[in-house]
């Protein structure tokens, strides 16, 4: 959609000539012959850009400047005058103008200013959309649990977040890589700056390069105007390069150079831009295997893998499943206006026995589905998919969530003790807990050699 521009000027010849020039450039142009009329047009049309003369009969451009900005805060106002003074310029800027031009105008200069304003507005809208999308999709369920693997992830996040180090997050699909990246950003020193996530597998090579670095007008077919890339848009914030393994090998060399030199060029441009943003890369592939296959540059791997965080699969942290189930029940109770209070013992048993190839995302979907299918206030096994119903283990669980967790913990510790011939010191060493903790657990859970 063409930008909408309003011209407010009481000189009819100038006003109409200026409007014609802008329309010939493809802009939608509206005119007003007075400040009062211009203010009415702003209310009705909400133009993207307003050019207003200062000296007019009736109210001046300065007189209505604050009203224009109040009515249309997303618009931009440029003041025009034939009698430029420093005092006038300062007053215009103080009242909300973003620029100031002298008559007679230089049309090329004006067109450049318009393009800059539009590019900036497009960029802000795009970043707002991306940040909203990330906030909407980023939940903290990946950190729910008390298992050793998830505690390790939390510790690594806390350690790396205050630094500016490049981070590589690896893990299977559905383990929460974007959630981790968002968490690192949120507790970093630049949490108020933009967080921009780019899915490197969703764009063709030429489009991905343009999205990352931006391009100049005429750089390639379809490049009708300058475009700011996400590396520039992120400023001093964070850029997440999701699925970095999917970046074409030819673009990998350019990315490596940018990361090493901390500067980049827009596609087709000659001006250098600094890279101020922090880089977080994510992948669900084994990059070392990709290196062996010639699909990923080894030097780029070592550049992005300054600090690695490997996310555990849900299979490797099954003891967190009861807590995750409780979280999803509360979440979907709120969204669906339901009143579920828990899951039956055979449901918990089946969930704990399943290997979860889709990880937390799959568990989330399973619980949501069950809450749609089940009745009353308890999730039953009949609400689970058939592949999960058929994986029930021999461990018995209570309907009470706390008891269910204790039941699993009791079975887990008992099995470990049996495997070590009830040698408590050796079992504690293997479980990586203090012997005193193990003795306390044995007493609390009522574990005996007869179990």
- Gap between the Cα atoms of 165 and 278, Å rounded: 7
CB-CB contact of 263 with 214 (8 Å): no
CB-CB contact of 27 with 21 (8 Å): no
- Gap between the Cα atoms of 418 and 410, Å rounded: 12
Pick the closest to residue 104 from 84, 77, 76 (CA basis). 84
Alpha-carbon separation of residue 111 from 49, 266, 286 (angstroms): 12, 20, 49
CB-CB contact of 48 with 121 (8 Å): yes
Task: Evaluate whether 4-119 and 314-399 have a shared fold.
Answer: no
> DSSP character for 191?
T
- Gap between the Cα atoms of 183 and 141, Å rounded: 12
CB-CB contact of 15 with 6 (8 Å): no
Q: Which residue has the tokens 């040698």?
A: 423
Instruction: Classify domain 4-119 at the CATH superfamily level.
Output: Response regulator (3.40.50.2300)
Quick one: tokens of 270? Answer: 């000659």
Which pLDDT tens digits describe the chain residue by residue (451 residues)? 578 999 999 999 999 999 999 999 889 999 999 989 999 999 888 899 999 998 888 888 888 888 888 888 878 999 888 776 667 777 777 888 888 888 888 888 888 888 878 876 665 555 444 444 444 444 455 567 778 898 899 899 999 999 999 999 999 998 989 989 999 998 898 988 999 999 998 888 778 999 899 999 988 888 888 888 989 989 999 999 999 999 999 899 999 999 999 999 999 999 999 999 999 999 999 999 999 999 999 999 999 999 999 999 999 998 889 888 888 998 899 899 888 888 887 888 899 889 999 999 999 999 999 999 998 788 999 899 989 987 554 444 444 556 666 777 777 788 778 878 888 888 888 887 888 888 888 887 888 876 5
Please tell me the pTM assigned to this model: 0.57
Helix or strand (DSSP H, E) at 31: strand 28-32
CATH 3.40.50.300 for the 138-310 domain, yes or no = yes
User: In 231-259, which positions are buried (b, 16+ CB within 10 angstroms) versus exposed (e)?
Assistant: bbbbeebbbbbbbbbbbeeebbebbbebb
314-399 CATH choice from 3.65.10.10, 3.20.20.150, 1.10.3720.10, 1.10.8.60: 1.10.8.60
Cα 375 from chain centroid (whole Å): 36
Pick the closest to residue 226 from 113, 355, 329 (CA basis). 113
- Gap between the Cα atoms of 149 and 144, Å rounded: 11
CB-CB contact of 61 with 34 (8 Å): no
Q: What is the domain partition of the chain in residue ranges?
A: 4-119, 138-310, 314-399, 406-451
- Tell me the fold of 406-451: Arc Repressor Mutant, subunit A (1.10.10)
- Gap between the Cα atoms of 344 and 444, Å rounded: 23
CA-CA-CA-CA torsion sign (394, 395, 399, 401): negative
């Amino acid at each position: 959609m063409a930008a909408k521009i309003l011209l407010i000027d009481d000189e009819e010849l100038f006003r109409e000539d200026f409007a014609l020039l802008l329309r010939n450039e493809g802009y939608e142009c509206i005119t007003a012959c007075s400040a009062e009329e211009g203010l009415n047009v702003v209310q009705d049309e909400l133009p993207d850009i307003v050019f207003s003369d200062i000296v007019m009969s009736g109210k001046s451009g300065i007189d209505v400047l604050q009203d224009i900005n109040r009515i249309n805060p997303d618009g931009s106002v440029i003041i025009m005058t034939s009698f430029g003074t420093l005092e006038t310029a300062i007053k215009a800027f103080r009242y909300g103008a973003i620029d100031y031009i002298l008559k007679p105008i230089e049309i090329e200069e004006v067109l450049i200013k318009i393009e800059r304003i539009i590019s900036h507005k497009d960029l802000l809208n795009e970043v707002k959309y991306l940040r909203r999308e990330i906030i909407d999709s980023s939940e903290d369920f990946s950190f729910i649990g008390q298992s050793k693997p998830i505690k390790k992830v939390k510790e690594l996040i806390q350690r790396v977040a205050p630094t500016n180090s490049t981070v590589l997050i690896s893990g299977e699909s559905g383990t929460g890589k974007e959630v981790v990246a968002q968490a690192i950003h949120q507790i970093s020193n630049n949490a108020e700056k933009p967080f921009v996530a780019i899915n490197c597998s969703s764009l063709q090579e030429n489009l991905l390069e343009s999205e990352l670095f931006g391009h100049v007008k005429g750089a390639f077919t379809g490049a009708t105007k300058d475009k700011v890339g996400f590396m520039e848009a992120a400023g001093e914030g964070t850029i997440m390069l999701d699925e970095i393994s999917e970046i074409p090998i030819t673009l990998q060399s350019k990315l490596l150079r940018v990361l090493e030199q901390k500067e980049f060029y827009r596609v087709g441009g000659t001006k250098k831009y600094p890279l101020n943003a922090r880089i977080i890369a994510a992948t669900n592939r084994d990059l070392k295997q990709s290196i062996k296959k010639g699909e990923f540059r080894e030097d780029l791997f070592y550049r992005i893998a300054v600090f690695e965080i490997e996310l555990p699969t849900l299979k490797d942290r099954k003891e967190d499943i009861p807590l995750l189930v409780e979280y999803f029940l509360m979440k979907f109770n709120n969204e669906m206006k339901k009143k579920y209070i828990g899951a039956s013992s055979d449901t918990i048993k089946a969930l704990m026995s399943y290997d979860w190839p889709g990880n937390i995302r799959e568990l989330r979907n399973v619980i949501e589905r069950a809450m749609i299918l089940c009745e009353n206030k308890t999730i039953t096994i009949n609400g689970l998919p058939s592949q999960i119903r058929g994986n029930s283990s021999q461990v018995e669980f209570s309907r009470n969530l706390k008891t269910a967790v204790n039941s699993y913990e009791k079975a887990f510790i008992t099995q470990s003790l049996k495997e070590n011939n009830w040698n408590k010191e050796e079992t504690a060493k293997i479980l990586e807990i203090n012997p005193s903790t193990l003795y306390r657990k044995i007493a609390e859970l009522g574990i005996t050699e007869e179990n």
